[in-house]
Structure 1
Amino acid sequence: MQRLHRMPFGTELVEEGVRFALWAPSAQEVALVLGERTIGMPVEDGGWRRLTVREAKAGDRYAFRIDGSLSIPDPASRFQPDDVHKPSLVVDPTAYRWSDSNWTGRPWEEAVIYEVHVGTATPEGTYAALAGKLEELRDVGITVIELMPVADFPGRRNWGYDGVLLYAPDAAYGTPDDLKRFVDRAHSLGLMVMLDVVYNHFGPSGNYLHTYAKSFFTERHPTPWGAGVNVDGKNGGQVVRDFFIHNALYWLEEYHFDGLRLDAVHEIRDDRSEHVLVELAERVRTTLPHREIHLVLENDSNEASRLDRDPSGEPRHYTAQWNDDVHHAWHALLTDEDEGYYADYADEPVRWLARALAEGFAYQGEPSPHRDNQPRGEDSTHLPPDAFVAFLQNHDQIGNRAFGDRLSDLVAPEKRAVAYAALLLGPNPPMLFMGEDWAASTPFQFFVDFSDDPDLSKAVRDGRRREFGRFSAFADKTNAARIPDPTQATTFEASRLDWSEAEREPHKGIRDEIRRLLELRRRHVVPLLASRFLDADYSLPRPDAFDVIWHYETGDLRFTLNTGQSPLAMSDTRNGWTLLWKSDGVTIDGDNLTLPQWAGAILMNEAA
């Protein structure tokens, strides 16, 4: 089976040869550089340049020469064998023969997500090597592999959020066919694959759009990275919108991904009546109506309206959002950290966590101290738990710590046990970061490779240390100097997983427990989630304890937590309730459930 996404950008193999297309409204002259040949490209309406070359073929290198001097890669290149500054490669998308013709995905209630950085997930750092780990992850209970961004970035190492050529999988990890082979293998094992995409900015090195398509960006919408993407302007706004919408469709159609996670969409500003996020989701839904496509947001604004359901309970646009509130409340509760955004939760972490678990967002319009008391969020009480991806760690929450340390380095095992039981047996789609399933000892640190630009490397290095200078632990210059240099290869190498740990204690025991919890989830929780969600409620019997109950058409799920120093007795726990999990020391006597300090229990019942 062959797969191809047709788009107005880039190259397309046609009967007459290869069609090349570039939108360059700011350029006076554009020429195609094809091997040793240079061929002028005539201008068309709207700033388009198109040219079909009969002699061109898959495997040819090409570039565009702007105004007689600057040679640039294709912004819609399908592959960059020699990185972001060199010529692009003509790719035949239909050359790969897929074997998953019957695959249409899996329902969202079955999602157990495993976030992965391809470059550090294995010693080889390739799609092929990661494919060799898929069966092992499936056997743990993972159902979704979520790849951090793979769009071509400068250098050989990067988290992926500095991508500049959004259609080209980075060559550091393998070829386009290697990535397709990875997705194909995952599907053969019953695993979904999602991809993290970045539509809010381009990286600082290798983005040439501003030289020949100035109206791609606008100062009307400033972002932390500079001028925002111009998705709403009269001068080229629709072309820019189409560039990102086609990119989403490209990954879903040509690479057969099962979903996308859209990075930091609160930085995509759009003054049109229909936001580009709505247009993108509607195009995806109408183009691929017979597949289980899951679109997930990262959105610091907590816009519940983007997650609305239709009368049948299906997402109108976006399936879910990463729920930072759940993470931040858990982290403040487990670690007592109260700087940065944890300041929003440190005053009453138990209450904030209970509200986030029961209602979706903790902040639903309340003023956020971390954001200068600006209101944050919208009412989310009408949304089901599957609209919120829950996690205790992710790439940001580990990698944006000074030393990339994991939760297992910070929190006692008995507290972690409660948190992981709640995560993996709760109704939210749970997400684990790579290695979290065995409490990996390796950190995940921030790393880049701007070796061709010493000034940029210095700016990143200095900026990293300034960023942590705001925290009390790094006010001292000696401590700040210990922060790993993100531009050094050693920082990247230190972040590589050691999979052999998973077979040794204490890591093996941790993974066995994760596997056991996920089996309980599969057998007991997933069937409940497949029924209609009714509502949820929570109570605080003491300031240091809560009781959350989620009500579904076929039954209820319950999580009770005591974080205090004295035992907590809860009644009405045996009338139809089945105990799924409990901390050590939890006892049941008649209708009473007694939890010692820092203990929890998870129960469920079936509707009469």
Structure 2
Amino acid sequence: MRSVIRRRAIGAEVRDEGVHFRIWAPVHERVAVVIDGRDFSLDREDDGYFSALVRDARAGSRYGFRLGDHIFPDPASRFQPDGPHGLSQIIDASTYRWGDAQWRGVALKGAIVYELHVGTFTREGTYAAAAHHLGELAELGVNLIELMPLNEFPGEFGWGYDGVDLWAPYHCYGTPDDLRRFIDDAHAHGIGVIHDVVYNHFGPDGFYLTQFAPQFTTKRNATEWGDAIDFESPHVRRFFTENAAYWIDEFHFDGLRLDATQSIHDWSTPHIIREITEHARAAGPDRTILVAAENEPQDARLIREYGVDAMWNDDWHHAANVAATGRVEAYYVDYRGTPQEFVSMAKLGFLYQGQYYKWQRKRRGTVSHDIAPERLFCFLQNHDQVANTARGERLWHPALTALLLLQPQTPMLFQGQEFAARTPFLYFADHKPELAALVAKGRAEFMQQFPSIDIDALTLPHARSTFEASKLDRHHRDEDALRIHRELIALRREHPFSAQRNDWLHGCVLGEQSFALRWLTGGDDDRLLILHLGDPVRIDPMDDPLLAPPDGFTSWKVRWQYEDVAIVLQPSRET
């Protein structure tokens, strides 16, 4: 058989002479592609692959693969216009004309990250509608958007973490070219875009991949969602490494966020996460590609050994939540929200670096004090933590906002946080009735860990009203909050904050709810940040040496201030 040069190992790729199809179906002897009602047999290759060039196929045609008496959508479909249960559509990625030839990506140091859910970011819930607000985000100072999962999932709304077609952008948000246009527009505004990908499980509805290759999943090391993905197979590994490269190559994403990496089980060398990061970077050699990871145990091997650029710092959020709300329950029980916790994290990274953690009855975290601070993402809000409240409530706390945006670690905002959005962000997932009932039951059981939450008052995940209630309302913006975010992000661009160096940084506790951070540069760019998590208190006596102005200066003057709870001071020679 004549060798065919393909852009990616599997899926439908448009060529001058037709469309080339390739799929991995090792348990089958025969596979045919069905295009507009006509069957075309595929040739069997080694290792269970099937392929063929179909000259009668064209971009826009609908197709599926016949396995015995059944027709299934392509597991590597580039678009599912009728959802995961419908036929796939042939997409020609080469027809989009990119305008970002000069774009070189976003450096991790200096990044202001913004987590965004396309379906609720605007009333329309589309890429095109979201693009209209890129100018506002650029004006705010955001330079890196993290899009919640876009892979095809069932139903008309959802978070996206139950995806089943990892190569197909979710059809309700727009076409693949609409997504390309959004990213192109973001680049024109100086904003990078990374994609939150789910490589730890597949969703339960519309998942047809194992009809082609049961080898994709294993009951060994099952995850909280069911069977694990079997990364021992080189073909399974290739499916995911190629998928990572695909998003970077064909959509010009600037990187990936890897969801729940503690549930990506692999004992190979190199680890699958390292291979994913390497393939992602190789797909965008002319620009900076960033890979961030969520990891509940906070295992720093992701950075040290697996090539990941940054990790989410859940410790910071949990301490902040306790400081702001006073609620010490569920996974917050090992946090006190005290000034010392924030001083320690600003200097050393994770709060838990191997200490015993009562909630899980085991040690938590790994050493992080040697990790550059920009490699840890800190946040007051994210999709999970806002939804894990009684009514999807958001945290708005000026002092903690100042800390988030000025400390050396990389700050991440959640959509609407910048204007203290009043709209909640709830857990929603549109499933068939039987599955919807099971999901609602599972959600209620999960939320029982929070004694302060009335389980009977929780909204139903499958109710459309739950989804609609989560859409941002820009008609009720807190302009004071928006001003504070703009001013603090602008201040972060100044020295010494822009250097993001924690070797300059020192801190001291000033009271039960008060503390200071000092950037000791030894010159007029020395800065002192004083924060009061509760009611401001008079600092008397001023007995900590960090409160003294640098040598050659006689006092401090205000560089920025929000009421009396957050104050940035700079050296002065005025008496």
| TM-score (normalised: structure 2) | 0.91
- Find the residue that maps to 1:200 and give its secondary structure: coil
**Amino acid corresponding to residue 334 of structure 2 in structure 1:** D
The residue number in structure 2 matching 1:461 is: 440
- The reply on whether 1:340 has 2:330 as its aligned counterpart is yes
Matches of 2:99 and 2:339, distance apart in 1: 49
The residue number in structure 1 matching 2:344 is: 355
The residue number in structure 1 matching 2:449 is: 470
Q: Is the 8 A contact 2:334 2:359 kept in 1?
A: yes
Matches of 1:318 and 1:603, distance apart in 2: 36
Once the two structures are superposed, what CA deviation does each residue of 1:165-198 show, in whole Å capped at 9, x if it has no partner? 1111111000001011111111111111111111
Shift of 1:552: 7.5
- The reply on whether 1:490 has 2:478 as its aligned counterpart is no
Matches of 1:42 and 1:429, distance apart in 2: 50
**Amino acid corresponding to residue 21 of structure 1 in structure 2:** R
The residue number in structure 1 matching 2:307 is: 317
- The reply on whether 1:285 has 2:281 as its aligned counterpart is yes
Shift of 1:434: 0.7
Q: Is the 8 A contact 1:217 1:230 kept in 2?
A: yes
- Find the residue that maps to 1:196 and give its secondary structure: strand
Q: Is the 8 A contact 1:365 1:379 kept in 2?
A: yes
Equivalent of 1:298 in 294, 308, 322:
294
The residue number in structure 1 matching 2:358 is: 369
The percent identity for this pair of structures is: 41
The residue number in structure 2 matching 1:267 is: 263
Shift of 1:340: 1.4
Q: Is the 8 A contact 1:583 1:601 kept in 2?
A: yes
The residue number in structure 2 matching 1:440 is: 421
Once the two structures are superposed, what CA deviation does each residue of 1:99-126 show, in whole Å capped at 9, x if it has no partner? 1111111322221111111011111110
**Amino acid corresponding to residue 11 of structure 1 in structure 2:** A
The residue number in structure 2 matching 1:417 is: 398
Matches of 2:558 and 2:376, distance apart in 1: 24
Which runs of no fewer than 5 residues in structure 1 stay unpaired?
310-315, 409-415, 586-598
- The reply on whether 1:388 has 2:389 as its aligned counterpart is no
Assess, with a 3 A threshold, how the Cα gap between structure 1 residues 558 and 149 changes in structure 2: closer, same or farther.
Answer: farther
- The reply on whether 1:428 has 2:429 as its aligned counterpart is no
The residue number in structure 2 matching 1:510 is: 481
Q: Is the 8 A contact 1:447 1:487 kept in 2?
A: yes
The residue number in structure 1 matching 2:17 is: 16
Q: Is the 8 A contact 2:26 2:212 kept in 1?
A: yes
Shift of 1:295: 1.0
Assess, with a 3 A threshold, how the Cα gap between structure 1 residues 91 and 286 changes in structure 2: closer, same or farther.
Answer: closer
**Amino acid corresponding to residue 32 of structure 1 in structure 2:** V
Q: Is the 8 A contact 2:194 2:257 kept in 1?
A: yes
Q: Is the 8 A contact 2:106 2:144 kept in 1?
A: no
Shift of 1:94: 0.4
Q: Is the 8 A contact 2:258 2:293 kept in 1?
A: yes
Matches of 1:279 and 1:604, distance apart in 2: 46
Assess, with a 3 A threshold, how the Cα gap between structure 1 residues 50 and 39 changes in structure 2: closer, same or farther.
Answer: same
Shift of 1:370: 1.5
**Amino acid corresponding to residue 360 of structure 2 in structure 1:** R
Assess, with a 3 A threshold, how the Cα gap between structure 1 residues 222 and 558 changes in structure 2: closer, same or farther.
Answer: farther
Q: How many equivalent residue pairs?
A: 558
**Amino acid corresponding to residue 264 of structure 1 in structure 2:** A
The residue number in structure 2 matching 1:48 is: 49
Shift of 1:24: 1.3
**Amino acid corresponding to residue 291 of structure 2 in structure 1:** L
Once the two structures are superposed, what CA deviation does each residue of 1:431-478 show, in whole Å capped at 9, x if it has no partner? 11111111111101111111xx2210111122222222333234xxxx
- Find the residue that maps to 2:244 and give its secondary structure: helix
Matches of 1:268 and 1:327, distance apart in 2: 23
- Find the residue that maps to 1:581 and give its secondary structure: strand
Assess, with a 3 A threshold, how the Cα gap between structure 1 residues 321 and 580 changes in structure 2: closer, same or farther.
Answer: farther
Matches of 1:469 and 1:294, distance apart in 2: 36
Matches of 1:514 and 1:500, distance apart in 2: 18
Once the two structures are superposed, what CA deviation does each residue of 1:525-568 show, in whole Å capped at 9, x if it has no partner? 56433xx7646554446565444446679976654444477533
Matching of residues 30-41 of structure 1 within 5 Å: 30-41=31-42
Q: Which moved more, 1:542-551 or 1:51-60?
A: 542-551
The residue number in structure 1 matching 2:158 is: 158
Q: Which moved more, 1:49-58 or 1:20-29?
A: 20-29
Shift of 1:248: 1.3
**Amino acid corresponding to residue 466 of structure 1 in structure 2:** E
Once the two structures are superposed, what CA deviation does each residue of 1:77-115 show, in whole Å capped at 9, x if it has no partner? 111100001110000000100111111113222211111
Which runs of no fewer than 5 residues in structure 2 stay unpaired?
none
| TM-score (normalised: structure 1) | 0.86
Q: Is the 8 A contact 1:161 1:198 kept in 2?
A: yes
For the aligned residue pairs, the C-alpha RMSD in angstroms reads 2.4
Matches of 1:208 and 1:351, distance apart in 2: 51
Q: Is the 8 A contact 2:255 2:291 kept in 1?
A: yes
Assess, with a 3 A threshold, how the Cα gap between structure 1 residues 37 and 391 changes in structure 2: closer, same or farther.
Answer: same
Q: Is the 8 A contact 2:346 2:502 kept in 1?
A: no
Matches of 2:520 and 2:155, distance apart in 1: 50
Q: Is the 8 A contact 2:496 2:519 kept in 1?
A: no
Matches of 2:203 and 2:571, distance apart in 1: 50
Matches of 1:217 and 1:54, distance apart in 2: 34
- Find the residue that maps to 2:76 and give its secondary structure: coil
Matches of 1:161 and 1:356, distance apart in 2: 29
